[in-house]
Amino acid sequence: MERILVKNTPDKSGESVKVCGWVWGRRNHGQIIFIDLKDASGIIQCVFLPDNKEVYKIAETLRTGWVVEVIGQISERPKGMVNPDLATGKVELQTDNLIVLNESLTPPFALDTDGLEINEETRLKYRYLDLRRDRLQKNLRVRHRVIQFMREWLTQRGFVEIETPIISKSTPEGARDYVVPSRQQPGKFYALPQSPQQYKQLLMVAGLEKYFQIARVFRDEDTRGDRQPEHTQLDIEMSFVTSEDVMMLLENLVMEMVHTLFPQKKMKVPWPRLPYQETMAKYQSDKPDVRENKDDPNELAFAWIVDFPQFEQDKNTGELQPVHHMFVQPREDSIALLDLDPLKMVSTQYDWVCNGYELASGSIRITDPELQMKVFRLLGMNEKKAKQDFGHLLEAFSFGVPPHGGIAPGIDRLVMLLQNEPNIREVIAFPKTGDGRDLMMNAPSEISQEQLKELGLSIKKK
């Protein structure tokens, strides 16, 4: 007999079916045993009667978390016994046969709650159990639908999904790189991407024009609240566009996605464009929460922050640094200030914010190799160092580069807001702690002396 999903049992009244899943709960009412069986699609009540002695004897041993296969007839529940809280609450399974596929230890915490009352380190250690709870499964399924919508929407508009390398070259881009030693090239290292920034710009040189990728990116940052050492972004790059073109593309994508998948959400359209200086003066933040009613969990106050400064001074050293990154095109009327007063320059950067969170940063990119080299020099990078780190990009730009720009919304944070979750760890399957530890896998961990020797590395004790 072929297994069916629990969610399909209401359509099988009077039929014999096979379902498989976990024992989610057990109740004894007199001599009748009731088992709640849960699979990925839902929960159904299974009934065990004492006249089926062999099956009943097995049912008496069942405990929460055991994996079972149950065969029986689907019947309507007696009047007064309907459970309106279950999608299958009008039916039950009268069990004829029961097979225990695997037993289970007692779970270390309750799985029938939202889980927020449980110590988070314990939840992360037993994440494979934590993920059985309905709230987290719903979050991951919603995340899937959001990504699926993005893929289909962009594909219909001529975008090509292209994977870029995960191991690449370490270059100064803002955050600290995660580095990977090369066994075949002793003493040399790859780096994990902080973003696919240079690759997507090179794809524009290649003439693809419309690129996107559901990209994993990695940043070795110090502990900072709701951050993860790796996260997922929708990476987009387009040729022959203005800032407004990129902003409107994302705005239309997100508006259609929210209307389709989250019709209960409220948002104003079009999204306001808020100049950076005015925003900082009014809200003292470049990611303002502009909701009219902050008590409404379904209000999404999307906005664009524009007219960012091109450069700023490091608070500790006073050195000049880019507000976004060193590839951002200055606004045309600011280019002349590069040699005169770079702190007064305005960039083409645009940030997407919602309810007090930054969801994305983007910009038009520098495509003039001479201007790019000027920016490198201004940031303290001599020509030799610039060519060492970015020679491939500068050389590519000498072969006919189209004007281009892009943006990279964070999917984790977007889904967190859409699901009204308190942090991004609630919408990531296997998150790490704030200090970058995976408590389930016990990572990071030491490697063997053999591996160190093979890589030509030694560990210096602190």
Q: Do 65 and 145 lie in a common domain?
A: no
* Same-domain pairing of 75 and 184: no
Count of the separate structural domains present in the chain: 2
Measured between alpha carbons, how far is 242 from 258 in angstroms, rounded to an integer? 25
Residue 90 lies in domain = 6-102
- The per-residue pLDDT for 29 is 87
- In angstroms, the CA 154 to CA 406 distance is 13
User: Which pLDDT score, from 0 to 100, does residue 223 have?
Assistant: 64
Instruction: Centre a 10 Å sphere on the Cβ of residue 185 and count the other Cβ atoms it contains.
Output: 10
Distance separating alpha carbons of residues 459 and 107, to the nearest angstrom: 39
Measured distance CA(321)–CA(334) in Å, rounded = 16
- At 186, list the tokens: 């002793």
| Residues 6+ positions from 344 with CB-CB distance below 8 Å | 309, 334, 337
Sequence-distant (6+) residues with CB within 8 A of 278 are none
> What is the per-residue pLDDT for 224?
65
Q: Residue 58 belongs to a domain with what CATH number?
A: 2.40.50.140
Contacts of 345 (CB under 8 A, 6+ apart): 309, 310, 311, 330, 331, 334, 335, 337, 338
Give whole-number Cα distances, 41 to 6, 228, 328, 457, in Å: 6, 30, 47, 49
In contact, 411 and 232? CB cutoff 8 Å = yes
3-state helix, strand, coil in the chain (%, to 5): 30, 25, 45
How far apart, in whole angstroms, are the C-alpha atoms of residue 152 and residue 136? 24
Are 155 and 262 part of one and the same domain?
Answer: yes
The Cα–Cα gap between 254 and 54 comes to 56
The answer to the question of residue 236 being in a domain is: yes
Residue 396 covered by a domain: yes
Task: Please check whether residues 192 and 55 belong to one and the same domain.
Answer: no
Helix (H/G/I), strand (E/B), else coil: 462 = coil
pLDDT score recorded for residue 227 = 84
Query: CB–CB of 215/411 below 8 Å?
Result: no
Is 28 a member of any domain? yes
Which CATH number belongs to the domain containing residue 241 in this structure?
Answer: 3.30.930.10
Residues 414 and 286 occupy one common structural domain:
yes
> What local confidence, expressed as pLDDT, does residue 313 receive?
93
CA dist 442 and 446 (Å) reads: 10
Q: Judge if 298 and 392 occupy the same domain.
A: yes
Task: Indicate whether 434 belongs to any domain.
Answer: no
- For residues 155 and 208, state if they share a domain: yes
The strand pair at 91-102 and 42-48 is best described as parallel
- Our CA dihedral for 203, 208, 210, 214, rounded to 10 degrees, sits at -50
What are the CA-CA distances from residue 64 to residues 110, 118, 120, 147 (Å)? Answer: 10, 18, 22, 34
Tell me whether residue 455 is in a domain: no
CA distance 375 to 386: 10
Claim to verify: residue 174 and residue 98 sit in the same structural domain? no
Is residue 78, in this structure, part of any structural domain at all? Answer: yes
Asked if residue 134 and residue 97 are part of one domain, the reply reads no
Q: How many CB atoms lie within 10 A of CB 161?
A: 13
Tell me which residue of 84, 99, 133 sits closest to 1, measured CA to CA.
Answer: 99
Same domain (yes/no): 184, 331: yes
- 88, 171: one domain: no
439 is a domain residue: no
What does the alpha-carbon distance between residue 20 and residue 40 come to, in Å, rounded to a whole number?
Answer: 10
Q: Are residues 198 and 313 in the same domain?
A: yes
Local confidence pLDDT in tens for the 462 residues of the chain: 999 999 999 999 999 999 999 999 999 988 999 999 999 999 999 999 999 999 999 999 999 999 999 999 999 999 889 999 999 999 999 999 999 999 999 999 999 999 999 999 999 999 999 999 999 999 999 999 999 999 999 999 999 999 999 999 988 766 789 999 999 999 999 999 999 999 999 999 999 999 999 999 999 987 666 789 999 999 999 999 999 999 999 999 999 999 999 999 999 889 999 999 999 999 999 999 999 999 999 999 999 999 999 999 988 888 899 999 999 999 999 999 999 999 999 999 999 999 999 999 999 999 999 999 999 999 989 889 888 989 999 999 999 999 999 999 999 999 999 999 999 999 999 999 988 999 999 999 999 999 999 999 999 887
* Ramachandran area for residue 86 (φ above 0: left; ψ -120 to 50: alpha; else beta): beta
Integer Cα distance of 36 and 32 in angstroms: 13
- Separation of alpha carbons 299 and 289, rounded Å: 11
